[in-house]
A and B are shown apart, each in its own frame.
Chain A
C-alpha cells in the first residue's frame, strides 16, 4: 500500500496538471496571436526562451526543494551574491574557467548554509531562508558599495543568446538542467529519499533515511542552480545591478506551484514547473505585444495560480 502510494506520487509526469497547463498555454497563445501578428513568430519565441533560461534553471531545483517539503525564498539573494562574485572576478581579469566555478561554488555554499540552518536547527525553511535572504541582499549592497558592475565580457553570452544546430542555445541549457534534475529525482536512491522525506518526514527518519544530510544536499543543489542562473544572467545582461534577483524567488515558487508541486511536500513535476515558467514569461511578453499595460501581468499570473489551486482542491475532495 505504501509502495503503491509512493509510485503514484513519484510519477514523473502528472498528466492531469500538465494537461491543464497545456490548455492554459494554448489559450494564452491563441489570445496573444490573435491580437498581435508578432507573437507567434520564431523570433519572438526565441526571445521568450532567452528570457526564461535563468528562471527555468532555478525552478528545476525549486521543484526538488518543494517535493522535499521545503521552500527557498532566498534564491534571489543567492543569485545576487553569486553574480557579484562573478562580476568582481571578471573585473579582476580572471578567465571564464575560473570565474564560472567560483560563481557556482558561491551558490552551492550559500545554499548549503541554508540547508545546515534548516536541518540542524529545525527552523521552518520559509523563516530560515527569509533570514538568509536579507543577509545575502545586504552582502550585495556591501560588496557593490553603490557602484554597478557593468560592461562585463560577453564570452559566455552564447549560452543564452547563441544558436546550435538551428535551435537557440537556451533550449540546450534548459534541456540539460531538466534531464539532470529528472534523473536525480526519479532514477537515483537520493531522489527517492527526497520524495520519502517530503511525503512523511517522521517515517523517513524511522526507516533510517539520513534526513539532515539529504536536506543539506538539496539546499546546496538549489544554491548551485542559483549560481548557474547567475552565470546565465551575467552572460546575457553583462552587468550586475543593485536590484538583481528581486522577484525571481516568488516567480520560481509561483511557476513550481503552477506546475503541480504541492507546497506540503511529496508531490511535484519538473515538466509542469517548466510549463509554469513558460506561462509566466509568455504572459510578460504577450501583454507588451498586444499593448496591454505591463501592470496587468501579475493579475493574470495570480488569477491562474488561484484557478489551478481551486481545481486541485475540488479534485482532491472528489477523490476522497
Chain B
C-alpha cells in the first residue's frame, strides 16, 4: 500500500517536473493522435511531420492507441491537453467521444485540428484533409470500372463501423455507383476487427456467396493483405479484382502478383508535413482566408471556406508502374 503510494508520488513528481521543464522554453509543441499506433501509414505521416518540425523549429509528438479504441484515443487526447500542448491534431475514431474534450481544449486556448479524418460536428478549427472523401470514393470506383467494366457485383470490406472517414468513402462509392454506373451492384459491406484474418474471411465468404463477384474493395490498410490473400488463395487472380485504400508497402507484393492491380491513397508524409505547418502557422497568429502556398509541398493547398477544410490535393493511384517510388 505504502509502496503503491510512493510509486504514485514519484510518478506525480516526475510529471510535475516534466511539465515544468517544457513550460519554461517557448518552443511550440504540436501533438498528433493517429487512429492506431504502429502502422506504416502513420509512421510515414510522422516522417513528414518530423521534417516540417525540424524546418520550422517546433516540437512534434505523435502517439496513438494500440487498437482502434475511441476511449483510449480520448485518454491520449486529454493527456496532451493536460501537458499544455499548443496544438493538438487528431484523426478521430469517433466524433461523439471526442466532442466535449475538443470543446474543453479550445476553451483552454489550445489549437485543435483534425487531420487525416474529420469530426465535422465538433469545435475543431480546421480539418487538414488528404483528399476529399468524395474524390477518394469516386477514384476507387472509377479505377475499378476502368479495369473490369461497369457492370457486376462488388463487395466492400471495411474496418470498424465507427471510423467516420471509411463510412464516408463507402457512401461516396455507393453514390457514384447509383449515379454513374447503374449496372454495378454493391452486394455487401462487412466490418473487421482490424485483423488480416477477418478481412480474408469476409472476402472469401463474399466470393462464395457471389460466384460472379467482380471485385472486393478494402477500405482500410488493415484489410488489404487479407482481401488480396483471399484472391490469391482462391486462385481467382484476373477473375476477381481486389483494390482499396492501401499503403504501397502493404499492397506492393499483391500489386506485383496481380491480385490487387492498384491502390488509391495520398502521400501521408505530405499530410503530416501540412498538419505541422498549419499548426505552426496558426500558433504564430496566421490567418487562413484562401488557398495557401506551402514551402515543401508541390501542389498548392486548397481552402474550402464553408467547411473549414484545408485540402492537400487529388488522390494518388499506385500501380505496378509507380509503386516502387513510394516507401510507406
Residues of A at the B interface (CB closer than 8 Å) are 36, 38, 41, 43-44, 47, 50-51, 137, 141, 144-148, 150-151, 157, 161, 233, 236-239, 241-247, 284-285, 288-289, 291, 293-295
Contact = CB atoms under 8 A, between A and B. Distances in A.
Contacts of A41: 208
A289 B155 CA distance: 12
Interface in B199-225: 200-202, 204-206, 208-209, 211, 222, 225
B211 A38 contact: yes
B250 A150 contact: yes
Interface of B: 36-40, 42-43, 66-67, 161, 188, 190-191, 193-197, 200-202, 204-206, 208-209, 211, 222, 225-226, 229, 233, 249-250, 252-253
15 contacts: A47-B208, A51-B204, A144-B38, A148-B225, A157-B233, A239-B225, A241-B225, A242-B39, A242-B66, A243-B195, A244-B195, A245-B195, A288-B202, A288-B206, A295-B161
Contacts of A151: 252-253
B209 A243 contact: no
Contacts of A161: 233
A176 to B, nearest CB: 22
Contacts of B201: 51, 284-285, 288
Contacts of A236: 200, 229, 233
Given A233-B197, A243-B222, A137 B66 contact: yes
A242 B205 contact: no
A148 B67 contact: no
Contacts of A233: 197
Given A150-B253, A239-B196, A242-B39, A289 B233 contact: no
A239 B222 CA distance: 11
B208 A294 contact: no
Contacts of B37: 141, 146, 242
Given A146-B39, A241-B225, A242-B39, A289 B200 contact: no
A291 B249 contact: no
Contacts of A246: 67, 193-195
Nearest to A137: B66
Contact of A243 (B42, B67, B229, B233): B67
A291 B43 contact: no
A41 B188 CA distance: 21
B201 to A, nearest CB: 5
B43 A146 contact: yes
B68 to A, nearest CB: 8
Nearest to A289: B209
A144 B37 CA distance: 11
Contacts of B200: 51, 236-237
B262 to A, nearest CB: 17
A285 B195 CA distance: 16
A38 B187 CA distance: 15
Nearest to B210: A38
Contacts of A245: 195
A242 to B, nearest CB: 5
B61 to A, nearest CB: 15
A92 B36 CA distance: 27
A116 B208 CA distance: 46
Contact of A241 (B42, B191, B196, B205): B196
Given A36-B209, A285-B201, A288-B209, A146 B40 contact: yes
Contacts of B196: 237, 239, 241, 244
Contacts of B249: 147-148, 150
Nearest to A154: B232
A138 to B, nearest CB: 8
A275 B83 CA distance: 52
A245 B198 CA distance: 11
Contacts of A38: 208-209, 211
A36 B205 CA distance: 12
Given A241-B225, A288-B209, 20 more contacts: A43-B208, A50-B233, A51-B200, A144-B38, A151-B252, A157-B233, A161-B233, A236-B229, A236-B233, A238-B225, A238-B229, A242-B36, A243-B222, A246-B67, A246-B194, A247-B193, A284-B201, A288-B201, A291-B209, A294-B202
B208 A150 contact: no
Nearest to A142: B38
Contacts of B202: 288, 294
Contacts of A288: 188, 190, 201-202, 205-206, 209
Nearest to A44: B208
Nearest to B197: A237
Contacts of A50: 233
Contacts of B208: 38, 41, 43-44, 47, 289
A86 to B, nearest CB: 15
A289 B38 contact: no
B195 A150 contact: no
Given A237-B197, A244-B195, A285 B205 contact: yes
Nearest to B46: A146
Nearest to B204: A47
